A = this chain, B = another copy of it.
């Protein structure tokens, strides 16, 4: 592992122009690690955006196969990050080595998925409407459309996934795949990790001869605001808190030229326990659900924060068992002191609420997060109590009992937008609760059956998104190959000579991609 320098990454070079530094900490002990990170100056933020903009023209025009090679080279470099690196990430985040090893594989896997998308070519969205010179009253021109990258993208690293949603994470992968150079704002919680991953990206960029500013990284407090406001930045990817995400959205909307922000923010991920499922396997559900709530110390965007069941003897029995399971969960170290502090305050707000009962969980002590279980009266959901809709980031969840399906539908109607909703159901439950499914679909990005939301498969069909406040724009996803669409925009050519067209639109179809030609999808070349 190379020495940690703590410099910003601008246009392929290192830069440490400012006087201020940031420190990285051991997440378990709280002690300062021996690294200092140079807070980017306003001039460095500007230089990073300029470098990205300078790279854009060349990078976006590369054949998609060249960008695929770059992503694959990044994947190889990430896979090659060794056990010293894993140990460093563990120190900065208090996450166990197994989780970091798995996340390393997930991160390189994401890069390879986008490389596949680039080679497949459907991201081009190629459409051709041929000329109709004889049409009356006016001839139809030849019109051809494809997608190009929107321009330089600002990406913010997330605290909870130091690899998969960070420096070389899903947003970076999607932006680079789209042909958009990236300026990455490293998360203060794992800056040494970020540096190692940035080095891996830079090595890959050099090996595959990418333009120098294709990837840039800045450190520092508050530099994100300058970045989002920079006129050359054309879109933003963010994973984090509602407060932080909304602040970026507001900044982006207030720019002279507003830009889109794809912020993945806050979700309580309701889990519905249907009657037959509870009857047949209530005790198994209690243990699976408690494992999902405390997985990774509850530090997942898809952590199940709301469990809803229908009043019945089985639900009461489940509740008892679930309480016992939650009470038995050990305390865990959180990502950092700030996260633990937020968790403690979130738990305190629930404890202080008169309509909410504390069912299980040890008193919060210093240093670690104690798993907690609460029960709220359904009236809080029906009356739109905001506290119930607030994500408490950590190993806690809240149970609500409804009297019947009518009340269930009313309670769900009041829910804000979510990343996920889960139905724990047996075959017999499905028909009577079909209208619940239709309603859930309007509220979420992903509906799960008999699983738990805390695993987000990286694939073509995944949607890790959903209506506000789960994300700032429900039309995007931040996991899976569709994520590339956030950073693409369509452009069309009218009566363009064939040799000047991008390859994706040329008559001969040299890329061999599927195209919508006069309303039919085909890979056939056109008569020239």
Inter-chain contacts of A209 with B (CB < 8 A):
none
Most buried by B among A258, A260, A427, A439: A258
Give the nearest-CB partner of A235 in chain B: B475
A311 to chain B, nearest CB (A): 25
Pairwise interchain contact A499-B461, C-beta atoms closer than 8 A: no
Q: Mark A417-447, 1 if CB is under 8 A from B, else 0.
A: 1000000000100100010011101101111
Task: Decide: A140 near B492, CB < 8 A? Known: A250-B253, A437-B500, A482-B145.
Answer: no
- With the chains together, A230 CA to B140 CA distance in Å? 41
State which of A212-220, A353-361, A393-401, A465-473 sits at the interface with chain B.
Answer: A465-473
A459 contacts B by Cβ under 8 Å: yes
Residues of B within 8 A of A499 (CB): 430
With A468-B258, A474-B150, A500-B437: A491-B446 Cβ-Cβ less than 8 Å = yes
Task: Point out the residues of chain B lying under 8 angstroms from A196, CB to CB.
Answer: none
Tell me the bound Cα distance from A89 to B205 in angstroms.
59
Q: Does A377 contact B (CB under 8 A)?
A: no
Residues in B whose Cβ lies below 8 Å from that of A253:
249-250, 253-254, 258
Closest to A477 in B: B490
Check: A29 CB closer than 8 A to any chain B CB.
no
* CB of A493 closer than 8 Å to a CB of B: yes
Per the bound structure, the CA–CA distance linking A297 and B491 in Å amounts to 27
The CA of A181 and the CA of B389, in the complex, are separated in Å by 27
Residue of B nearest to A125 (CB): B482
**Cβ of A248 to closest chain B Cβ, rounded Å:** 12
If the complex has contacts A57-B438, A442-B57, A448-B494, are A489 and B460 also in contact, measured as CB distance less than 8 A?
Answer: no
A447 CA to B417 CA, complexed, in Å: 39
Q: Assess the A462–B250 pair: CB atoms within 8 A.
A: no
Q: Are A441 and B491 in contact (CB under 8 A)?
A: yes
Residue in B closest to A492 when the chains form the complex, CB atoms: B463
A387 to B129, CA, bound (A): 36
A43 at interface by CB-CB < 8 Å: no
**Contact with A482, one of B140, B460, B475, B490 (Cβ below 8 angstroms):** B490
User: Is A61 at the interface (CB under 8 A from chain B)?
Assistant: yes
Verify if A348 is at the interface (C-beta below 8 Å from B).
no
Contacts of A417 in B (CB 8 A): 257
Indicate if A244 sits at the interface (CB-CB under 8 A). no
Binds B, one of A20-28, A67-75, A332-340, A513-521: A513-521
A410 within 8 A of B: no
Cα separation A5 to B213 with both chains bound (whole Å): 62
Interface pair A492/B445, CB less than 8 Å apart: yes
Given contact pairs A519-B120, A521-B514, A489 touches B461 in the complex (Cβ within 8 A) = no
Report A123-137 residues with CB < 8 Å from chain B CB: 125, 127-129, 137
A143 to B479, CA, bound (A): 13
A450 on the B face (CB < 8 A): yes
Are A427 and B141 CB-contacts (below 8 A) given A150-B475, A447-B492, A491-B446? no
With both chains docked as a complex, state the minimum distance between the C-beta of A249 and any C-beta of chain B, in angstroms: 6
**Chain B contacts of A467 at CB under 8 A?**
257, 489
Q: Which residue of B lies closest to A440 (CB)?
A: B491
Specify which chain B residues have a CB less than 8 angstroms from the CB of A250 in the assembled complex: 253-254
Given A143-B461, A145-B461, A258-B253, A446 and B519 contact (CB-CB distance below 8 Å): no
With an 8 A cutoff between CB atoms, is A496 at the interface?
Answer: yes
A148 at the interface (CB under 8 A from B): yes
The residue in chain B whose Cβ has the minimal distance to the Cβ of A58 is: B438
Query: Known contacts being A442-B151, A475-B150, is A497 close to B430, with CB within 8 Å?
Result: yes
Enumerate chain B residues within 8 angstroms of A465, measured Cβ to Cβ.
489-490
- How many angstroms from the CA of A516 to the CA of B480 in the assembled complex? 13
Contacts of A151 in B (CB 8 A): 442
The CA of A457 and the CA of B128, in the complex, are separated in Å by 13
- Whether A500 lies near B430 (C-beta < 8 A) is yes
- Cα–Cα distance between A249 and B446 once the two chains are bound (Å): 28
- Cβ contacts under 8 Å, A122 to chain B: 516, 521
Q: Which residues of B contact A414 (CB under 8 A)?
A: none
* Bound complex: CA A430 to CA B495 (Å): 13
Contacts of A138 in B (CB 8 A): 455
A228 at the interface (CB under 8 A from B): no
A residues near B (Cβ < 8 Å) are 56-57, 61, 102, 116, 120, 122, 125, 127-129, 137-138, 140-141, 143-145, 148, 150-151, 249-250, 253-254, 257-258, 260, 417, 427, 430, 434, 437-439, 441-442, 444-451, 455, 457, 459-463, 465, 467-469, 472-475, 477, 482, 488-497, 499-500, 514, 516, 519, 521
Given contacts A257-B469, A446-B493, A477-B490, 14 further A-B contacts (CB under 8 A): A122-B516, A141-B457, A145-B462, A145-B482, A250-B253, A258-B472, A434-B500, A446-B491, A446-B492, A446-B494, A448-B494, A463-B492, A465-B490, A482-B490
Top 6 closest pairs, chain A to chain B, by CB: A253-B253, A463-B492, A145-B461, A127-B461, A129-B459, A143-B461
